[in-house]
């Protein structure tokens, strides 16, 4: 099926159009409508995937794959408002499938995120402090990490996050509680240094 | 790792998490995605449907042809039966016997037995 050139038939009020409207046009293979959906949702999908993959270089590829699946069949998403959740769910499933086949390497081996542990006595600069925090998040189990990413980092409601993860709100809250407890345990040894470093950075 | 550390509060954790890396979209990522989409549009869609074998999906043409004589036979039977022309194709003895039997009144099981014995002997 031929793709409609981007400049040929722009949808009136493209940026004001709802996801549902854009999906209808995307279903007619109109690239400009799909490009608007990409502009709207690609950054958040990429952020979630990046967090899930601990900053792995393949994060962009996985985020792209979710959009390709949408492009191949936009009718998979029945309701426009559910689009963002659908994209995140597809992308996070791709991440989990990939690393089920090829387990994620240890963070120390990947070098994607530097592990800042053991630096309490050192003068800790901001980048190392951030790396320590990122490494603590990266070390969470997949589902806890996804729950934290959606609720804490992407500011989604528990209901929305639970819908994306296809779990009950109670189950999501349990994941969040375990994730926070785990993060506290991981970060507590460096707590005073981290807080001091980051506080100094702010002043 | 020192296990005798001071426990962390929720507020302290939130303060630290606020400094976690916020990944930004790599430069050119959007264009690369749109290029992949354009590539998908220009190439034929991958066939992900595994078709049934034809014989399993629908009867073969031979199967349909074999049904034609059966249908014609049924139609002929209905035509002959309804038009009264059937009797000319049946043997006369058989037809007379059927016609004669139709007039006999059957009132009970004894009559049926005698009827059978009479006619078959």
**pLDDT one-digit tens code per residue, B60-116:** 777 778 888 999 999 988 888 887 776 777 766 655 665 555 555 656 666 555 555
Contact assignment for B20 to A137 by CB distance below 8 Å: yes
Is the pLDDT at B44 greater than 60, yes or no? no
What pLDDT does B98 receive?
57
Between A200 and A158, name the one with better pLDDT: A158
CA distance A55 to A111: 9
Cβ contacts of residue B1 below 8 Å, gap of 6+? A117, A189
What is d(CA A106, CA A118) in angstroms, rounded to the nearest whole number? 17
Tokens 């502009």 belong to which residue? Answer: A39
Average pLDDT over residues A15-42: 88
- The reported pTM is 0.66
pLDDT above 50: residue B46: yes
Judged against a pLDDT cut of 80, whether residue A3 lies above it is answered with: no
For A54-104, write each residue's pLDDT tens digit: 888 889 999 999 999 999 888 888 887 889 999 999 999 999 888 776 655
**Pick from A1, A55, A180: which is nearest to B13 by CB?**
A180
Q: What is the pLDDT of residues A90-142, one digit of tens each?
A: 999 999 888 776 655 544 444 445 444 444 444 458 888 899 999 999 999 99
pLDDT(A159) > 80? yes
Q: Which residues of B touch A194 (CB under 8 A)?
A: 16
Q: Would you put residue B21 in left (φ > 0), alpha (ψ -120 to 50) or beta? A: beta
Confidence of residue A46 (pLDDT cuts 50, 70, 90): very high
Distance CA A129, CA A183 (A): 14
Spell out which residues of chain B touch residue A137, defining contact as CB-CB under 8 Å: 17, 20
Average pLDDT over residues A43-55: 93
List the single residue in A3, A183, A187 with the smallest CB-CB distance to B41.
Answer: A3
Cα dist from A51 to A10, A95, A168, B118, whole Å: 34, 10, 22, 98
- Please, which residues bridge with residue A30 across strands? A4
| Cβ-defined contact of B1 to A39 (cutoff 8 Å) | no
Is the model more confident about A16 or about B111?
A16
Closest CA to A153 of B64, B113, B19, B38: B19
- What interface predicted TM-score (ipTM) does this complex get? 0.77
d(CA A202, CA A199): 5
Work out the minimum CA distance from B22 to partner chain A, whole angstroms: 7
* DSSP assignment letter at A152: I
CA distance A139 to chain B (A): 14
Chain B hits for A35, Cβ within 8 Å: 34
Give the whole-number percent of chain A exceeding pLDDT 90: 50
Q: Tell me the shortest Cα–Cα distance from B31 to chain A, in angstroms.
A: 10
Closest-approach residue (CA) in chain B for A188: B8
Cβ-nearest to A130 among B19, B25, B34: B19
Query: Do A60 and B26 count as a contact with CB atoms less than 8 A apart?
Result: yes
pLDDT at A151: 96
Q: Under 8 Å CB-to-CB from A169, ≥6 apart: which residues? A: A158, A159, A162
**Could A198 and B15 be called an inter-chain contact, meaning their C-beta atoms sit closer than 8 Å?**
yes
């Amino acid at each position: 099926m031929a793709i409609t050139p981007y400049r040929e038939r722009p949808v009136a009020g493209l940026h004001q159009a709802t996801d549902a409207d854009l999906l209808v046009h995307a279903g007619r293979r109109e690239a400009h409508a799909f490009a608007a959906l990409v502009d709207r949702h690609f950054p958040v999908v990429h952020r979630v995937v990046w967090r899930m993959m601990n900053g792995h270089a393949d994060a962009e590829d996985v985020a792209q794959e979710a959009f390709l699946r949408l492009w191949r069949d936009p009718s998979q998403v029945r309701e426009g408002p559910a689009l963002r959740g659908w994209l995140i769910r597809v992308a996070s499933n791709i991440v989990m499938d990939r690393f089920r086949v090829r387990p994620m390497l240890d963070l120390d081996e990947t070098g994607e995120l530097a592990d800042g542990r053991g630096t309490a006595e050192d003068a800790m600069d901001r980048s190392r402090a951030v790396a320590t925090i990122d490494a603590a998040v990266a070390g969470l189990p997949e589902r806890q990490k996804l729950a934290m990413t959606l609720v804490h980092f992407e500011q989604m409601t528990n209901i929305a996050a639970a819908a994306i993860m296809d779990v009950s709100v109670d189950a999501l809250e349990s994941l969040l509680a375990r994730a926070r407890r785990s993060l506290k345990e991981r970060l507590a040894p460096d707590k005073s240094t981290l807080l001091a470093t980051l506080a100094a950075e702010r002043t | 790792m020192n296990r005798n550390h001071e426990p962390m509060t929720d507020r302290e954790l939130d303060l630290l998490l606020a400094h976690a890396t916020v990944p930004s979209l790599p430069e050119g990522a959007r264009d690369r995605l749109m290029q992949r989409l354009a590539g998908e549009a220009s190439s034929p869609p991958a066939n992900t449907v595994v078709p049934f074998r034809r014989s399993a999906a629908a009867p073969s043409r031979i199967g349909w042809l074999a049904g034609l004589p059966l249908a014609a036979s049924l139609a002929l039977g209905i035509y002959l039966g309804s038009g009264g022309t059937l009797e000319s194709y049946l043997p006369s003895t058989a037809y007379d016997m059927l016609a004669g039997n139709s007039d006999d009144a059957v009132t009970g099981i004894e009559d049926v037995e005698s009827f059978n014995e009479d006619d078959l002997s």
